[in-house]
Amino acid sequence: MKKKTIFKFTTITAFLFLVAGMIFFNPINSFSCGFGNSGGSDFVPQRQASNFVNQAAGNQAATAIGQEKAKSIVKSHVSKLNPDLAIGNINDAGGFFEVEILNKSDELLQVVGVDKYSGRLMLLN
């Protein structure tokens, strides 16, 4: 009888530790790539602001960023990846800006979009 009780107690304790480990040590939410994204080949790090800049709060309307701010967002992102790349033309495309990324010989490498209200980067081609 005593061996059965010890076995049950040990089994239940091990099960509880296993469940607690799954709850507390497994990353339930991964926010490195944005909510719900796996971070595949089209992953672009997003601007993070602790004060939630350009996000509407309550009845306030979000203010749009300008072309210079869009250029600085793309420039800081590109300089982290490859300092030899340059920023080309910036076009207004309605809800976002199209920003060209050029190499040393002024060849178009990539076109990225910068959302006017959130400042988020998106790959366009």
For 49-65, the pLDDT digits (tens) are 544 554 555 555 567 88
Q: Helices (H), strands (E): how many in the chain?
A: 2, 4
**Model confidence over 106-119: pLDDT tens digits?**
999 999 999 888 88
- In a 13 Å sphere around the CA of 69, the CA atoms on its Cβ side amount to 15
To the nearest whole percent, how much of the chain has pLDDT over 90?
36
Would you place residue 89 in the very low, low, confident or very high pLDDT band (cuts 50, 70, 90)?
very high
CA angle 97, 90, 101 (to 5 degrees): 100
Which pLDDT band, with edges at 50, 70 and 90, does 32 fall under? low
Contacts (Cβ under 8 Å, ≥6 apart) of 117? 54, 62, 63, 64, 65, 95
The domain spans of the chain are 2-123
